[in-house]
Amino acid sequence: MSGHSKWATIKRKKAATDAKRGKVFTRLLREIQVAAKLGGPIEGNARLRTAVQAARSVSVPSDNIDRAIKRGSGQLDGADYEDVVYEAYGPGGVGILVKTLTDNRNRTVGELRSILSRHGGSMAGANAVAYLFTERGSVAVPKDKIAEDDLMALALEAGADDLVDEGDRWLVQTDLKSFDPVRSAVQARIEDAEASLAPVASTSIPVTGKDAETLLKLLEALDDLDDVQNVYANFDIDESELSRLSS
């Protein structure tokens, strides 16, 4: 698996703990608010549709979702969050993208610098890392819900360009243009399939030993910041070592 997929797998394992702290709800509601602010009504707003669906999949109350949409569209007062993407380097020269939703850039960048300096990382200049990543769509499907051949046929017909084995689930991958039709086709068959938009790295950097251990601690520390929505990195750690370090 790519570094993106491996990190996504680790994040799924810690999601239950985050949910107990209410952190998942907070992140999803911020995303809904900003998506509504930037893209308008849900009918023509793919980002908002994806955010609302993600929120419903983890049982965020409908009233909370509606309020977040109203705050984003200016119908209710609330903090004014903005999208800010920061670029950084981690141990071993790994490129890191940190997507944030913040109402205070100075606070956010200060927290990021502090964590990076404690874990062998550093901030990077504009596009020093971003050029390594391309925004892609994906739809995750549990393997027990559909046979591989059936999913492959369904996804390809809708416009998908790849099907990735992620252990306990399939990941249907697509470019941005085909994301909506692919998502609609897959979710018409598997209602609880999880759709998302995320940057995917074109190349990966092998990381081992102490660098691998420090990198995972860095990514987790970044991910735990309140202003951080998602963290992406172009690392590649051997499967056995990854299992040992993330256990």
Q: What is the pLDDT of residues 108-139, one digit of tens each?
A: 999 999 999 999 999 999 999 999 999 999 99
pLDDT (mean) for 186-201: 90
Q: Is the pLDDT of residue 25 over 70?
A: yes
How far apart, in whole angstroms, are the C-alpha atoms of residue 135 and residue 47? 12
pLDDT, position 15: 60
pLDDT (mean) for 194-218: 92
Buried b / exposed e over 39-63, threshold 16 CB at 10 Å, is beebeebbbbbbbbebbeeeebeee
* Share of residues in the chain with pLDDT > 90 (%): 72
The pLDDT-based confidence of 143 (bands split at 50, 70, 90) is: very high
* Share of residues in the chain with pLDDT > 70 (%): 91
pLDDT, position 184: 92
Which residues, 6 or more positions from 199, have their beta carbon under 8 angstroms from its beta carbon?
4, 97, 130, 133, 134, 135, 136, 232
Q: What is the pLDDT of residues 236-247, one digit of tens each?
A: 988 888 878 776
pLDDT, position 9: 63
Q: Is the pLDDT of residue 197 over 70?
A: yes
pLDDT (mean) for 170-175: 94
Count of residues in the chain? 247
Q: What is the mean pLDDT of the chain?
A: 90
pLDDT (mean) for 82-109: 96
DSSP lists the bridge partners of residue 247 as none
224: nearest Cα among 14, 80, 33 = 14
3-state secondary structure at position 208 = coil
Q: Are 3 and 166 in contact (CB under 8 A)?
A: no
30: nearest Cα among 86, 99, 102, 98 = 102
Across 11-25, 89-103, 189-203, the highest mean pLDDT is recorded for: 89-103
229: nearest Cα among 204, 207, 196 = 196
Q: Which residue has the higher pLDDT, 238 or 71?
A: 71
Helix axes 239-246, 209-223, angle to 10 degrees: 50
Q: Is the pLDDT of residue 23 over 60?
A: yes
pLDDT, position 1: 40
Where helices occur in the chain by DSSP H, the ranges are 3-20, 23-39, 46-57, 62-72, 105-118, 148-158, 176-189, 209-223, 239-246
